[in-house]
Amino acid sequence: MTLINMELLNLDLMLSIRPALAVTVSLIAAGVILCLHNRPNARDAVSVVAAVIKFIIVISMAPLILAGNTVDLTLFEILPGVDFAFRVDALGMVFATVSSLLWILAAIYCIGYMRSQNEKNQTRFYASFAVSLSAAVGGAFAANLFTLVIFYELLSLITYPLVYHKENQESWHGSKRYIVYLVGASKSFLLAALALTYQLTGSFDFLPQGLFKDVVAADGLLIVIYFCYLFGFAKSAIMPFHAWLPAAMVAPTPVSALLHAVAVVKMGVFCLLRVIFHVFGINLMSTLGLGIITAYLVSFTIVTASIYALTRDDLKARLAYSTVSQLSYIILGAAMLTPMAAMGGIIHIAAHAFSKITLFFCAGSIYCASHRKKISDLSGIGKRLPITMTAFFIGSLGMIGIPPTGGFISKWYLVVGSVDAGQMALLIVLLVSAVLNAAYFLPVTYKAFFEREKIPQDPSLLAANDIHEIPMIAMPLLITALLSLLLGLYPDYFLGLANSLVAEAFVDRDLITVGSLP
């Protein structure tokens, strides 16, 4: 009997330490990368191997989470009711799965990109990249607001060197705006929200129906706290706290892909989903009228950012404003306070990540192969870069929400959720934004495949005959494009995770079946 108990204890310990292992594996990798600065092949291999190990650790917990369980680990107590702790649940697993999976492909892509451009400071780049993924997964598995904010701030600080990587005047200016916006919002709005939360509850723990569920406080005070969180988590890029994101475009394209598809921006919307579902809770959000206010606020961001994207000729700038718009779809899904809309918002975390990282990878491939940044210079380039531009087309379909991409699944749930909520205005926003998405994405593909090649006037641009695919860059972007399609064809994994969260969050309300497409 004692032997059986010891075996069960060892099994529980192995399960409980997995969140910590998932976080630390890339921290260890960062240290090894720094030690291998004189051995570039070994250094780059460490990034790929660490990414694979991290993904295996993360995905090994998926069966438990899909079965309705959680994995908990408390490391130490800071104050009464304030622990540094991990808890793996359905929402955290969505973010962690996407981040760890795409790091594998980003690590491979970085090797092709950085070497083809002969970039300086590659060791610092790879080390910072690794730590940023530790911060992302740490935030995904945070058990409470305190732990979440620690990793949120770490992610801001460790990505700062990535933004100023080129160390020129433009990168210094962009990185300054990046850090001022993110840290400034944290030190003002977010710090105030945390202090008031602890004063009212004596805890920072995430609870299924909300930390504030049984709190007695004035409605006005709770509304102030909510908006402090909404603007304090500035990585979500809600207008007018979005300017840091286009400014960060000065970074190398792999960083842009990391910032705008995987780690940084997803951390922002992930934090807001935690606030909506597990700090305030669905019922309190509805009682205070915060859901509809948030929905209209992010709807303004969705439409306005799409219009900005339509006017940009620089490809990365267009993708940046597209990101500002698409992030608000995720928040909109939660803010509509219906099960179907919440499903759509959660699934859009993955759908946007797979499609948007594909688009940024394609922008980097175009630049490495041709030195071209402007859309107006891409006439006929599809003949020279067929893999890149085909992948760009698939990524564009995902952003628009056309089947069979993952973007169709998430936007379908959002549309149905808006109808369930009785919000025809929000339905119109979703339809108008889809038209705008098509208007600023599809012309890029048309220009690449159906317009004649032009002789470049700028001497820095390569002639058509010199343009060709770079295998180490083309392979990852092709895989991410296929992932976007696979999510649309086989969405069960993310649907299962989203359904677990929604069933828990809406347990006190009328719950409709959301486990499969209607």
Listed residue (27, 231, 271) closest to 140, CA to CA:
271
Q: What is the pLDDT of residue 12?
A: 52
**Band (458; pLDDT cuts 50, 70, 90):** low
**3-state SS, residue 75:** strand
Mean pLDDT of 90-113: 91
As a whole-number percent, the residues of the chain with pLDDT over 70 amount to: 91
Q: What is the pLDDT of residue 264?
A: 80
Specify whether the CB–CB gap between 163 and 248 falls below 8 A: yes
The whole model's pTM is what? 0.91
Residues 6 or more apart in contact with residue 179 via CB below 8 angstroms? 156, 157, 160
Specify whether the CB–CB gap between 136 and 155 falls below 8 A: yes
**Band (161; pLDDT cuts 50, 70, 90):** confident
Exposure string over 308-341, b if 16+ CB within 10 A, otherwise e:
bbbebeebbbbbbbbbbbbbbbbbbbbbbbbbbb
**Cα 387 from Cα 401, distance rounded (Å):** 21
For the cut 80, the answer to whether the pLDDT of residue 10 exceeds it is: no
**Cα 64 from Cα 499, distance rounded (Å):** 15
DSSP codes, 430-496: HHHHHHHHHHHHHHHHHHHHHSPP---SSTTSPPGGG----HHHHHHHHHHHHHHHHHHH--HHHHH
Q: Strand pairing partners for 87?
A: 72
Which of 250-264, 307-321, 358-372, 424-438 is predicted least confidently? 250-264
For the cut 50, the answer to whether the pLDDT of residue 511 exceeds it is: no
Average pLDDT of the chain is 86
Between the CA of residue 377 and those of 252, 255, 469, what are the distances in Å?
20, 23, 17
**Cα 255 from Cα 269, distance rounded (Å):** 19
Q: Tens digits of per-residue pLDDT, 309-322?
A: 999 998 988 998 89
Is the model more confident about 256 or about 229? 229
Residue whose tokens read 């940009």: 312
Specify whether the CB–CB gap between 477 and 393 falls below 8 A: no
For the cut 80, the answer to whether the pLDDT of residue 457 exceeds it is: no
**Band (3; pLDDT cuts 50, 70, 90):** very low
Is the model more confident about 239 or about 230? 230
Q: Tens digits of per-residue pLDDT, 174-198?
A: 777 777 777 776 677 888 899 999 9
For the cut 50, the answer to whether the pLDDT of residue 514 exceeds it is: no
Q: Tens digits of per-residue pLDDT, 255-304?
A: 777 766 777 888 889 999 999 999 999 999 999 999 999 999 999 999 99
For the cut 90, the answer to whether the pLDDT of residue 241 exceeds it is: no
